[in-house]
Amino acid sequence: MSSGTPGRDAPERRPALTRGRIVRAAIGLIEREGADALSMRRVAAELGVAVMSLYNHVPNKGALLEGVAEHVVSGMELQDDPSAPWQERVRALVRAFRTVAHEYPRCMTIVLTRRFDTTVGLRPAERALALAEAAGFDGVTAVRIMRALMAYALGAQMREIGFGKMLHHLDTSPAENFAKLDAATFPHVIALGPELARHDPEADFEFGLDLLVGALEALPRARSAR
């Protein structure tokens, strides 16, 4: 009758309800059923508690979403090789966001939408600023570089998972859908149809990243790179 867990005394069946457990349950629910399926009631059911119990650890649903965004962002693994050239370290930083975005694909809309003000969001910013300085850029430029890199990291993901689906009807069955396009207004889209239908998000991502890093290399610097 003994289960795998050390059941002696069995003081409490479930671990204590905490903000962390609530946030993780929410993330699991979102990844399994999508962001629309998230409700306080569903999360409570998942954890086997009454709805109102959640409110002892989270002030409201907005705060829960904030917690989800924070948790995802804090999952960014910002490993760094200080001996590598700054170009490669920049690439690694931007890729780190892409990696976490792939880990929590359905949570991304929340991350991209909800604002939160924990310091976890500052970690990638700090890293980007540090790298820009290592590359020899002055402070003003470093801030702008950080913002451009963040814009690309966010946008590349956004385009890949959501807005890219602007071309949604081209994806499913290209041949049929391209036929419906007006040849006069969309000549290039039609001509490049096969290429547009092909999906290599990795290559697309790296292409844009190369553009940016290359542009940074060409940018005049205050000091020479370390």
Partner DNA sequence: ACCTGAACACCGTTCAAGT
Residues that bind a second copy (CB under 8 A): 73, 109, 111-117, 119, 121-123, 125-126, 129-130, 133, 139-140, 142-144, 147-148, 150-156, 158-159, 162-170, 181-182, 185-189, 191-192, 195-196, 203-204, 207-208, 211-212, 214-216, 218-219
The site partner of 61 among a second copy, DNA, none (C-beta below 5 to 8 Å per kind) is DNA
Residue with tokens 């092909």: 198
- Residues in contact with DNA by the rule CB under 7 A: 16-17, 38-42, 49-53, 55-57, 60-62
Determine the Cα–Cα distance for residues 215 and 217; give it in Å rounded to an integer: 5
- Rounded to a whole number of angstroms, the minimum distance from the CB of residue 1 to a second copy is 49
Contact 97, 157 (CB under 8 A): yes
44 vs 98 by CB, closer to a second copy: 98
Query: For the CA atoms of the chain, what is the radius of gyration?
Result: 23
116, exposed or middle or buried, with CB in 10 Å at 0-12, 13-18, 19+? middle
In the complex, least distance from residue 134 CB atom to DNA, rounded to whole angstroms: 44
Beta carbon nearer to DNA, 30 or 73: 30
22 binding partner (options DNA, a second copy, none; Cβ < 5 to 8 Å by kind): none
Sequence-distant (6+) residues with CB within 8 A of 85 are: 225
In the complex, least distance from residue 169 CB atom to DNA, rounded to whole angstroms? 21
The residue (of 49 and 150) whose beta carbon lies closer to DNA is 49
- Terminal alpha carbon distance of the chain: 64
Q: What are phi and psi of 198, to 5 degrees?
A: -65, 140
Return the number of the residue (40 or 196) whose C-beta is nearest a second copy.
196
Q: How many Cα atoms sit within 13 Å of 104 on the Cβ side?
A: 25
Nearest to 129 by CA among 148, 154, 156: 148
Least separation in angstroms between residue 34's CB and DNA is 12
